[in-house]
Amino acid sequence: ASNNLVNIVEVGPRDGLQNEKGVIPVDVKVELINRLARAGAQNIETGSFVSPKWVPQMGGTSEVITRMERLPGVRYAVLVPNQKGLDNLFTVLDETKLTPPISDEISIFTAATDAFTRANLNTTTAESLLRLEPVARAALDRGLRVRGYVSVAIACPYSGPVDFKRVREVAKALADMGCYEVSLGDTVGQGTPNKVAEMIEEVKKGVPVEKLAGHFHDTYGTAVANVFAALAQGVRTIDSSVGGLGGCPYSPGATGNVATEDVLYALRDSHYQVAGSNNGTINLDDMVNIGWWISEKLGRDSVSRAGRAIRAR
Ligand code: HMG
Ligand code: MG
């Protein structure tokens, strides 16, 4: 590909924190988002408007996005599962009345298997797509961008290996309802580079590669390799999480997302450049510090390999 600019979508404040059991104060979430934005992150997923009964940790997202800084050149997104979540977001947007709004974008999500969609959204994949269509339309009508996720693009924790044709169909359905980008999630983190390449080759038959992103959990230690497999397929957007935080409450045993620090480090000396806000890039040392800062707030060490190595030198 002639375009070697890689976009990073920082999902730490959402995917990274959603699975944490302890209460994380709103102040900490706000500071995390602000630090990420100041480090050059261009796309930040700040939280979700899901049911607090299903994911208690994301219950404070209204307050988080109301209190965070809104830096120019940074795109802020929230995850929305249904009409109710969108209504709740619109209420916040109406109350704050900022231009641009405090959230530029929603992410909607479904999965390549019914078993996972049932666990995560309490419905089938087909029904979830029917429900999401008007949600996407209403968000687009309001001038928000819409991003889609297909979970369990490689393997499902409930039904095993996934049919990549199904991933293609679901990704195409999301693109057809107006998603500017569809992120392919290895939710379980079982993917290997060859499987990831095979999956993306199939999905490209339905959705142009310019609209695809890769979202890799690192359960088996293959996430950085999977990032490079996706890049080799022409994908130019990668989701990652500072400090390697993350996990889906409905994907038992899965660990965090690929660490932003590890992706930044691995892309050094390559022919790829990482896009940051305002035509800059993302600062690796800042990310390492943020990864340690948030991990210590959560009572542990950073699990980013680059973050640990850089801190130790
Ligand atoms: P449900 O129980 O079928 O919902 O859950 P319902 O429509 O029957 O409503 C039940 C109650 O929830 C009602 O309240 C609703 O008002 C309320 P009650 O009358 O009982 O008091 N409710 C809501 N409250 C706040 N916000 C809402 C909302 N919707 C309904 N949006 C539902 C269906 C979709 C709500 C639920 O399944 C849910 O919230 N799921 C989200 C699960 C989630 O957040 N998972 C993690 C994110 S996805 C992920 O991590 C994967 C990803 O990273 C990619 C990858 O790695 O693969 C993106
Ligand atoms: Mg995820």
Q: What is the pLDDT of residues 180-196, one digit of tens each?
A: 999 999 999 999 999 99
In the prediction, which pLDDT does 138 show?
Answer: 98
Going by alpha carbons, the residue nearest to atom 17 of ligand 1 is 51
Going by alpha carbons, the residue nearest to atom 20 of ligand 1 is 53
- All residues at 6 or more sequence positions from 79 whose CB lies less than 8 Å from its CB, including other chains: 14, 45, 47, 48, 49, 50, 58, 85, 106, 107, 108, 109
Determine contact, residues 172/211, Cβ cutoff 8 Å.
no
Distance 173 CA to ligand 1 centre (A): 21
In the prediction, which pLDDT does 2 show?
Answer: 53
Residue carrying structure tokens 């190595």: 309
Average confidence (pLDDT) over 93-122 = 96
Q: Is 105 exposed, middle or buried (0-12, 13-18, 19+ CB in 10 A)?
A: buried
Residue carrying structure tokens 């310019």: 210
Whole-prediction pTM value? 0.97
Catalytic position from the list 245, 248, 263, 274: 248
Average confidence (pLDDT) over 238-245 = 97
Indicate the residue type of 105.
E
Going by alpha carbons, the residue nearest to atom 33 of ligand 1 is 121
Distance 65 CA to ligand 2 centre (A): 20
Q: Cα 308–297–18 angle (5° rounding)?
A: 95
